[in-house]
Every structure is written in C-alpha cells, then in structure tokens.
Chain A
Amino acid sequence: MSTSTEIACLTVNGDRREIGVPTHFTLLEALRYVMGLTGSKQGCDKGDCGACTVILDGEPTLSCLTPVWEAEGREVTTVEGLASADAPHPLQDAFDLNGAAQCGFCTPGILCSAAVLLDKSPSPTREQIREALSGNLCRCTGYTKIYDAVEAAAATLRNGAHGS
C-alpha cells in the first residue's frame, strides 16, 4: 500500500487551515495527529464509543468515521473550540462542578453532543438528554452526574449568565 499525501483545507474552531494529510486519513486523525488538537479522543476507531464526537456544521459527528475530505468547506468545532477566551463554556464549567468527568476520556465527545442539544433545545428534559447522549459511551459515571451537569448548564445558558 502506498500512501499519498494531499492538501486538505479545513475550518476548525474558526481557523481556516491547509494541511497535508495522507489521503486515507479520517477527520479525527487530521485533528489529533496533524493539527495537534488532541482534545478529541480515539476510543475505538470504528464509531462505537463516541469519544471522537465533534460538531460538523452544527451536528454531532463521529470524526473517526468521517474521511477528512468530507469536512472540507464545512465548519468543524471540537472541544477546544467550545470555550471563549475569557471563560469555559457553561457546559465545561458544569461538568467540572458536578463531577461529570471522572477519567475524562469520553468527556470531549459528550460535551460536543450536549452542546448541540442545548443549541437546539435550551430546556431539555432528562429523557431528551439521555437520547442525545446515547451515542457516547461513558464507562465511569453511570451518566447521572452528566445529566446533572447538562441540566445545570442549560439553566446557566437560559439565565444568560455566560452571554452566548
């Protein structure tokens, strides 16, 4: 197998960049191993665990199943792109306060799924949260603290305490 490298043009967390990537690379490999954005995690490399979830044009997307070329011309947001310069995203803060991240390895993907949920449903029910996170496996928490954190962040966002 010979590996050829081509230029991909990606917009990640608002930065437009051209990178050289082997043609078979996934978006996850490009993020982690070419762009140095190691926040997105690889847990299974086959779309089962959700640790690699990023936001692609506003939708939670498994970056380990997405060829890097499919992300060209689209908006990619990773966990590193959720925070503003002066404060973490309310979800990120709520995950910390509520003990929603134990080992933290699934956390970046869960945050991306949860951020999309809160964009679409500012006041989600617990059932909606369970549904929205059902593609993200967490092996530590039993999910309860994660629900608490998402609900707390939703309240913060509704109250406008964090602007955006």
Chain B
Amino acid sequence: MAPNTKSDLEFIGTPMRKVEGLDKSTGRALYTDDLVFPRMLHGKILRSPHPHARIVSIDTDAAEALDGVHGVVTGRDMPTTYGIIPWTPDEYPLCVDRVRYVGDGVAAVAAVDEDTAVRALGLIDVEYEVLPPFLDPYKALEADGSTPYVHAAKKEGWNGNITKKVNLEFGEVDESMDASDVVVEGEYFFEGTTHAPIEPHCAIGLWQAGGGFKGSGGESSGKLTVWSATQVPHYLHRELARVLGVDQAHVRVLQPLVGGAFGGKSEPFDLEFCVSKLSMITGRPVKILYTREEVFYAHRGRHPFYMKYRTGATADGRLTSVDAQTLLDGGAYASFGLVTTYYSGQLLCAPYQMAAYRFDSTRVYTNKPACGPKRGHGSVQPRFAFEVQIDKLSERVGLDPIEFRRRNFIGSDTRTINELRVTSNGFMECLESVERASAWQERFRKLPFGHGLGIAGSTYITGTNYPIYPNEMPQSGVQMQVDRSGRVSVFSGASEIGQGCDSMVAYIAAEELGVPLDYVRVLRGDTDFTPVDLGAYSSRVTFMVGNAAIDAARKLRDMVQQAVAEHWEVRPGEVLLAGGLALWAPDTERHMHIKKAFNLAEEKFGTLGSTGSYNTPKDVHGDYRGGTIGSSPAYSFTAHVAEVEVDVETGVVEVKKIWVAHDCGRALNPVLVEGQMEGSAYMGFGEALMEEQVFKDADHGMAGLHDAPSLLDYRIPTSLDTPELQALIVESIDPEGPYGAKEAGEGPLHPSIPAIANAIYDAVGVRMDRLPFTPPNVWREIAAAREAYTLRKPVAPSGVAAPALAPEPVPGD
C-alpha cells in the first residue's frame, strides 16, 4: 500500500457535506464585497478608451477638489512593474506613460461612496496621443517597427510584439512523417473565451500607519491588510510588498470565500494595488468592486490559438509523427504567457504514444485585454486540434476512433516522448467506460443522418512540479492542533474557490484522527496564520495540500497512539483512531472517547500541534530547456463521448448528452469530484458552441472595444442550453496522491470540444476545425459540403486501412 493511503477508510471515498456548504446555502457565507468596515471609502478606476496610446498628461485637480473625494492616484504613484511570472513583469498597477488596451487603468479615486467616485472619474482629464493598435496577431508578428510595438523587444531579432517563442523537437519528426503510411494536415482555430465567474473581482485595502516597533530598523511605519477575491493569496502577498515597498512581514492578505475563479483570479490585478495605495494616502479602508464590464476587460482568459497540425500514422493505426505550429494571441501583457506558450505543446504527449513530436509556438502581444490561464491552461486548444486530427486519421486507416486511441495508449509507469514521468494511468478504463455508457458500438456511424457521436481523450497535470518563483521550500503546508474538547483545528492556506479544498483537509483530519467531521474546524484564508500554499491553479490543490494535511495529521495521530498505548500498556500500532474513539485493534471492546485520548496525549507531550508539508519530486522530467514546464507529480486522464443533433437547414447543433469518464486517482468525495467533472464538461460545451471573447476592429465600431462585455451578450450556457452530463469516475489509485487522488477540476474540460466536433462529423460529415460551432459557422461549413456533395453520413470504419494510403493533398500546396 502506498505510504499516503490507509486501509479501512471511514470518510474518504464517501459522499460528504462541505464544511462551508450550509453557510453558502443559507446566505451566511461572506465574500469580499460582503465586508464593510468603519470609515470605508469606495474606489473606482479610470480606464483607457484607446487600445494603444501614449499618455501625454493627466490632470486630476478637479477630481481631487470634488467634495467627498479623499484620494486620487495615477501610475506615477506606483511606478514599479509587476507580473505573475518573475521573468516577465510588464504591467504597472496603473499605466505610467502608455495604455495598451481599451480598459487599461490610468487613475483611481477613493471617495465616500461609489457615486462620488464615478463622478470624480469624469473630472480627470487625460490627454492621449493615439497610436495605431495591433489587433491581428499575424500583423503583430510581422510588424516592422513602422509604428510602435506593444512592448520593447525582449530579445535581439524579435520585434517588440513577441512575448515568447518555443521550438522543441523529440525524435525525428520529418523522417518519421515521410515514412508514415497516412498523413493528415489541418488548420485549426480556437477562439478566445473568458472565465466569467459570477462574482466580480473585489478587493479591500487597509493601511494602518505608525508603529515603528523596536527592532524594525525604522524602515517600516505601517501595516497593510488586503482582502481580495484572489486564487493566489501568496503571490499577491509577495507582489503587493514588492510594488508598494512594504516589508512582506507587514503585509497581510485575507481571502474571503471566492465566488468562482477558473483561472481568472490567479494573478494580481490593478484593483489590489489601487485599494492599497489609496488606503495609504487616505488612512482609511478602501474597497473596489469591478463592474461586470471591467471583469471582461480584466480577462486573462483562454488565448486564441491559430494551429497547423501534421500528424502521421502507420496503416495499422500507430501514431508516427506529430508536427504542430501555433500562434498565440496574447493580448496586451505577458500574464502567464511564458508558461502558456510551453503548455501549448508540452501537454500533448499523453495519453498516446508517438514516435516523434515537434512543436513551434509563438505568443504575440496585441492591443487587447491580456490572455492568461483558463481552466485547462494552454492545453485545451491544442487538444481540440489534436483529437480532431486523430479522428481524421482513424477514418483514413479505417479504424474505429476508440480502437485507434487504444492502439496508441501510452500506458502507466512510463515516460512521454518529451520525457515527462507518467505514473498511474486509467485512460483505458475511461475509454471503456464512455464506450459502454454511450452504447458506442451499436450507434457510432449508425445513427440517422443529422445525429452523431464523437469521442475524444485527454490528459492534464496534477499541479506543476515547480513553483512560479524558484525556491526549494514546500509547495504546500498545513498546520493542525487538537483541543481538549476533541476538536481539531486545521490551518490551511489553500484557496477555496468552490472546488472544496477546505472540506478536503477536514475530511483528511477526520480520517486520520478518528474524529467526527463536525469536530473539525478549518481556519483559512489569512496569510497571518496559515502556512503558505501557492494557490488554486494548475490543479495542484488536492494533491499537494492533501498530502501536507496527511503529513500533519499523522504526526498528531502518532502522538495520540503512543499516549493511549502507554495508558493501556499495548503497542502504539495496535491503537486505532476511528469513529470518535481510540480503539485497541485486537479487541475493539476496549476503547475510549477520542477526547480522552487527546487529553492523554496532551498530558504526555504538552500542547498538541503539528505541521505538515508537501514538495514535489524533482527528477520527473527531461533535462532540456523548458523540460520542467509540464512536469507534474501525476497526470489525470479523461475520455468523453458527445452526442449531437445537427440541423442542416439552420446550422444549429444541439448537444444531447456528454458522457464524461475521468481518472481522478481516487475520489476523496465522489459528490465533489462529479461536480468538477460536470462543471468542466459544461464549460467546455460553452466554449464549443457559444462563447467568444472578441473585439471590434476599426471597420466595426471602435477598434479594440469588447464586442459583448455582459453576461447577456457573452453567452454562457443557461440551464436550458446545457446538455445532459453523466460523470463516470475512474479510480487508478495514484502511488503518490493523497489516498491515491489526482486532479479532477481541469482535465475533464478538455475532451468536450473535440468530442463535439467529432460528433458533428459523425452526424453530417462536416468537419468543424474552427471554433465556436455557432449556427452561422456550422451553416457555412454545411453549405460548402452541400456544394461539394460531401454532406452525408460518413462511412463506418471497415476495420482495415483504406487502400489509398497516399498523403492527402495539402491545402495551398
């Protein structure tokens, strides 16, 4: 048995309530905007109306003179750049001399109420020198410097619109491609989408001046406290201190419950710096709540990807060579873009084996809101292209696409071609599960014209092996203490964004210490008293925080077992903690209440507390530049089957159902795991059919203006839009995960999109290589297919390779 699991699980693996569940359903739960402080001021940020412009001057005199205004700040008050990736800090809290997208912040005010703050914004006079914007990523890439680039050049030979280039090759791609029996080429486009959490970003800053305690060196004269709807309190803590010049020891970040994030709150934002600086100026707490429109401009969502894929296979359906070229439209700032550029290629090398692989990815800046990490960061887009490529290859070699995927299964306890270590792998079980549940064999290629089934698979990381800033310290820490009442307090720095991580540590404490779940209190969201956890991103939390919680709990458990064993004069290993009792394993009639056991331990050891930590294995990737990016202690695996109905007259695609099979290692609480799987599939469905984060160009209104910055016009699925979703949990029991668990929050999004695309093909014989599959886009492809006489049900797989094995003609050749 792996070290981080145990036999006779009492809680783990069963449906359980969440620790904050009733708070959320009764309205007691407090989010950042629910907090009010005495003398609190309300802030607002003035934003650029231009996509690209120099700031010539800013006159704030009239705003400052307005009755009720207490503070005004501009970029010059915070002239330090920040950025979530330490190597690419390219943003100011407020723009200093240049604005780079419509919505870039230029000034902020704090006033007695929101109305006054809004009025004050109208009194700020900004003179701009408007510059030509870059909106098209190809034009940005090819720019010659005749107009100012978005940023200064990062490397010699690069124009100033290039954020990052990655070119990696594993194996002999060209030779292997030439030797392939079948080669499929395709061009794919993934439109940008955004997170749209229902809670808008909100932050409150409180500067408390004074102090100057003995030993402080006279350097600091105050303390900064920030409440924020962030999913990365630790990184925010660091950046606030650095940018505002406050000793990190004097900064405290509190994270109330977060009303959804999905990657959209995973780096510092302008409002957190502005509330802090405005509080420093006014000496009063300051709150800023984004409007919904501001949330759309803050963005950091899915990058638009322009992808060209060549994929080869043998006649019997073995992947020989994969060659990918990608242009990423990054928007105005780097955000996580360095990582996104690597992820666009690094995460494609499972669950299938391939003999050779190359990717060439370039991220460019454009004058639009910055793109960043959205659920399935950087790998949802290439996964769409690749899984459609595989569908095309399967057809070319006459194989059922599920069988094709099985033949190329990479296996468990292996390395990918880019040298990432894979441990547990339940992908085959995922395929089998969706195949059976969807009655695939009876229905694929056999449904009437207009109805179709599609399959897709995927993999995703369970956390990144390396933290964002280089250090050897643990990625996650948890502290626990037990009270004389039997209560267990868990101090957790994990970021509860709805996924259930506060509950997860409570389940572990109850499991290891044998107390009822309602004996566990989770104290959270405060950098003053919780150990560091790096944040809710990269699907790292259950694995890393869970292992840290097990570590902390077992230290306490060992002490309790020792004390009870001594009391009973038995061996510590014979003492069980379960069901609110300490029991003697050989004869459980001999037992005591857990409170008594805790008291015995406190008598023996003194006040009871422990810390636990987790750090990642560091030898699980290739030794090449970028080899660490994409490496993870474990990988999750997913397979979806989607069923669609396509109306060829209107282009309307109705997704009837998605079967979602996901290898999460072990489902610590199956209710929450299913919720992550269903929510992921829903979000992928929305990206496939409905969502587009797009901007006007000069021919269609004002260049750079968001096309639809509202939850009415940016169409996220309602209950009536969302298809039936069936979650099918697969458990591979990972050797290093807590009780064998891996991630479940991001992986199950990936296959939704290609599964739907492949189902559309099964329905009407039309390939959808560009997102989204809206009625006009689908109808255009249907019309083209009708003209080409290809609008028909595709032929069922023969089981043998098609006789004509010559490569398809390359478009444009």
A residues lining the B interface (CB < 8 Å): 1, 3, 22, 32-33, 36-46, 48-49, 51, 78-80, 82-83, 88, 91-93, 95-108, 111, 129-131, 133-146
Contact = CB atoms under 8 A, between A and B. Distances in A.
Contact of A99 (B26, B262, B674, B719): B674
Nearest to B35: A38
B497 interface: yes
A130 B722 CA distance: 9
A135 B718 CA distance: 7
Contact of A49 (B15, B22, B198, B291): B198
Contacts of B198: 41, 43, 49, 51, 103, 105-106, 137-139
B216 to A, nearest CB: 37
B260 A103 contact: yes
A140 B498 contact: yes
Contacts of B260: 102-103, 105, 139-140
12 contacts: A48-B711, A49-B198, A51-B198, A101-B18, A102-B675, A103-B199, A103-B258, A103-B259, A105-B31, A111-B25, A133-B719, A134-B718
Contacts of B719: 129-131, 133-134, 136, 138, 143, 146
Could you say which interface size class chain B belongs to? 35 or more
A11 to B, nearest CB: 18
Contacts of A108: 27
Contacts of B24: 95-96, 101, 104, 107
Given A98-B671, A145-B671, A48 B710 contact: yes
B29 to A, nearest CB: 6
B115 A3 contact: yes
B620 interface: no
Interface of chain B, main secondary structure: loop
Contacts of A134: 718-720
Interface in B237-282: 257-262
A142 B26 contact: no
Given A96-B17, A105-B260, A139 B22 contact: no
Interface string B6-27: 0000000001011011111111
B196 A139 contact: yes
B499 interface: yes
Contacts of B192: none
Nearest to B24: A104
Contacts, number: 181
A73 to B, nearest CB: 24
Most chain B CB inside 10 Å of its own CB: which residue of A38, A49, A103, A106: A103
B30 A99 contact: no
A144 B33 contact: no
A92 B31 CA distance: 18
Contact of B115 (A22, A46, A102): A22
Interface of B: 15, 17-18, 20-31, 33-34, 36, 113, 115, 119, 195-200, 257-262, 289, 291-292, 497-500, 671-672, 674-675, 678-683, 710-712, 716, 718-720, 722, 724-725, 727
Given A49-B711, A141-B678, A88 B25 contact: yes
Contact of A39 (B20, B26, B718, B724): B26
A62 to B, nearest CB: 12
B674 A44 contact: no
Given A44-B292, A103-B497, 12 more contacts: A1-B119, A37-B27, A41-B198, A42-B289, A45-B291, A97-B17, A99-B18, A137-B198, A139-B195, A139-B262, A140-B679, A142-B683
Contacts of B15: 97
